[in-house]
Amino acid sequence: MTDAPTRNETAIPVEALSSIEAAEELARLADEIARHDRLYYQQDAPAISDAEYDALRRRNEEIEARFPHMVREDSPSKRVGAAPASGFGKVRHAVPMLSLGNAFGDDDVREFFARIRRFLNLPADQPVTVVGEPKIDGLSITLRYEKGRFALGATRGDGREGENVTENLRTIRDIPHTLPGSVPDVLEVRGEVYMSHADFAKLNEAREAAGEAIFANPRNAAAGSLRQLDPSITEKRPLRFFGYSWGEASGRLADTHWDFLQRLKSWGFRVNPEVRRCDSAEDALALHRDIGEKRALLGYDIDGVVYKVDRLDWQERLGFVSRAPRWAIAHKFPAEQAQTVVRGIEIQVGRTGALTPVARLEPVTVGGVVVSNATLHNEDYIRDKDIRVGDTVTVQRAGDVIPQVVAVIAEKRPDGASAYGFPDHCPRCGSLAVREAGEAVVRCTGGLVCPAQKLERLKHFVGRQAFDIEGLGGKHIESFHADGLIDGPGDIFRLKDHAGDIREREGWGEKSVEKLLSAIEERRSIGLDRFIYALGIRQVGESTARLLARSYGSLAAWREAMERASAERHANAEEAKKPEAVGEAYAELCNIHTIGMAVADELAGFFDRDNVENRKVLDDLAHELEIEDVAAPAAADSPVAGKTVVFTGSLETMTRQEAKAKAEAMGAKVAGSVSKKTDYVVVGADAGSKAKKAAELGVATLTEAEWRALIGG
């Protein structure tokens, strides 16, 4: 169990959030979920239950649905898993291994079916058939076959890059080494490695008898077994495999998902026997109830049921949104709960200065995981639930991963328990802590003067999604910073000047220091998107960083544009009702799809002329690093790759949502308004001011038919 806190759902309903509160909440959720992804995917050591984790993701999705213009680049909805751990070679997935959106109740499932109908514009009487199957609680992997022979196997990792565990996977009896019959020259089979309850019990009995540490649960046992550096150890572990999907394939596999599963079986893969076809939402819900009733008898862990649209041509049209396919969803089982006592409330200071209260709990086991702390989010959350030190509370691990305080059991409150008083000064630096109008967060005003903020920003800078320097984790950053070896990000790249000092530190030797310095040197060249993300600008996550990098192309162009946007914002603060009223650079920034004024303001603030420290950091890093320009879009052979497209009016052959998704998949940039940098405006029926502005600016306009002809139908 980690000592780091976990998150709970905020007490403020999504529908009551102001835009400022929503932005702050999305930023906190992005950081918290990323931390739990690292614990779960890299360390196989979840700090919260699946149910609690899912609750965080659900909260994030609900806020994004209400404030779509605030979706962050590092949003959990755009991210899968965590970066691969060290110790294994890395494998770049030809087709990303995405995660799934979640449904937690019957209405969520019905809405999933309704969304499919809306996106595809289906008639009311046309059935939407899905394939439902148990969601195995194991380790997702991909198996690459070349001319029918098993050639490579990898974990999911962060969805784009995983660990090469080929030799370990060869030891699993459910994974065939060769495939019979007609097989595409290249075929990636995807599925789940897991351990049965019976085999898990036997393994732990043997380990206990041998005086070895026992595994906490079957998933941890499966993940730990698959990640053995010695394949002979993996071979002795009773791992199993269910196949359920595919990645790269050199030929068409089937017309329906159901038929693909039959092909999997014909090639010798095990497919879950509980798989069923469902012709409606009610059929799917019936399957969920049926599997839920027999869950304890299946012999392996599951945490829900996955529904996938059966028709593959519909799957292709539906495509993907961020980290998940539109054509699939995971219907989770209810969370487990337990009661415990709040032993204390502490304040942690994040990299943006947010003061986050953390409940220290009497350790309690919930769903097989020991819970000892939970985040209390903010001042309002504590006040609305009236949480006091000494209270007995109900704790829930939502989604079986993340602990949250559900309620206080008032009748068990001890005499004399007093209401919690939120601090008005930072506990780390003593600076005034303020809560701005419209925000839920109390924030330290110390900025980089605050040691907590400076330290957390340094940790963020070397994080997995940022510079990802092997051997330089949070503990090392804390130690080097405390001893004055690192003060700012640029100092990391000058650690070679302190090599002698580091060698004398406990736990460091000649080889480990050489390895660290080599890893730092390897990161002197980094992509623009990772560099932007590493700066830790509020509301700029991984996805937003990629959008910015793709839109501006180079560090010089991005910085010049941000400084111009910042100057415009500074000069026209009173006139910022619309982006156009601020200035051209600011308006261009806001015009990037999914970046609105809230994110633009954070970027402008970071580059504000008064923020001398930020400019110093950028100048310092520019001397130490080579920031790679953005490569051409993956769909470079597409006629719209790199083009900026705006859709306006009603389309007849596809919905606007489908049209935008298709354009982005082909490498285009979809904007929300027309500017002189727009390449095409696709005009549907009842088009309004955007078509008029295109004509005024001389931007090319296309009918829907012309657009379809341009992109190849």
First and final CA of the chain: distance in angstroms? 53
Alpha carbon 363 to its chain's center: 28
Under 8 Å between Cβ of 39 and 52: no
Under 8 Å between Cβ of 1 and 372: yes
Helix/strand/coil percentages in the chain, nearest 5: 40, 20, 40
Candidate list 135, 332, 643, 690, residue with the active-site label: 135
CA angle 3, 540, 102 (to 5 degrees): 65
Please, which residues have CB within 8 angstroms of residue 3's CB and are 6 or more apart in sequence?
372, 373
Please, which residues have CB within 8 angstroms of residue 215's CB and are 6 or more apart in sequence?
200, 203, 204, 207, 221, 224
Enter the tokens of residue 134.
């148990």
Cβ neighbours around 690 below 10 Å, total: 22
Under 8 Å between Cβ of 14 and 381: no
703 φ/ψ angles, rounded to the nearest 5 degrees: -75, 170
Closest among 662, 692, 697 to 678, alpha carbons compared: 697
3 state DSSP class of 527: strand
Q: Count of alpha carbons within 13 Å of 97, Cβ hemisphere only? A: 31
Residue 578 designated active-site: no
CB crowding 568-606: b at 16 or more within 10 Å, else e? bbeeeeeebeebeebbbbbbbbbbbbbbbbbbbbbbbbb
- The rounded distance, in Å, linking the Cα atoms of 708 and 634 is 20
The residue type found at 465 is: Q
- The rounded distance, in Å, linking the Cα atoms of 224 and 473 is 21
CB crowding 335-360: b at 16 or more within 10 Å, else e? bbbeebbbeebebbbbbbbbbbbbbb
- The rounded distance, in Å, linking the Cα atoms of 139 and 142 is 10
Q: Which residue has the tokens 């010798």?
A: 268
Enter the tokens of residue 479.
């130690």
- The rounded distance, in Å, linking the Cα atoms of 549 and 635 is 17
Enter the tokens of residue 25.
């909440």
Under 8 Å between Cβ of 76 and 30: yes
Residue 345 β-bridge partners = 359
User: To which H or E segment does residue 160 belong?
Assistant: none
Which pairs with CB-CB distance under 8 Å and at least 24 residues apart come from 495-501? Answer: 495/520, 496/520
Enter the tokens of residue 132.
């439902």
- The rounded distance, in Å, linking the Cα atoms of 602 and 58 is 25
What are the start-end ranges of the E strands in 104-183? 130-136, 139-146, 149-155, 161-163
3 state DSSP class of 592: strand
What amino acid positions are annotated as catalytic residues?
Answer: 135
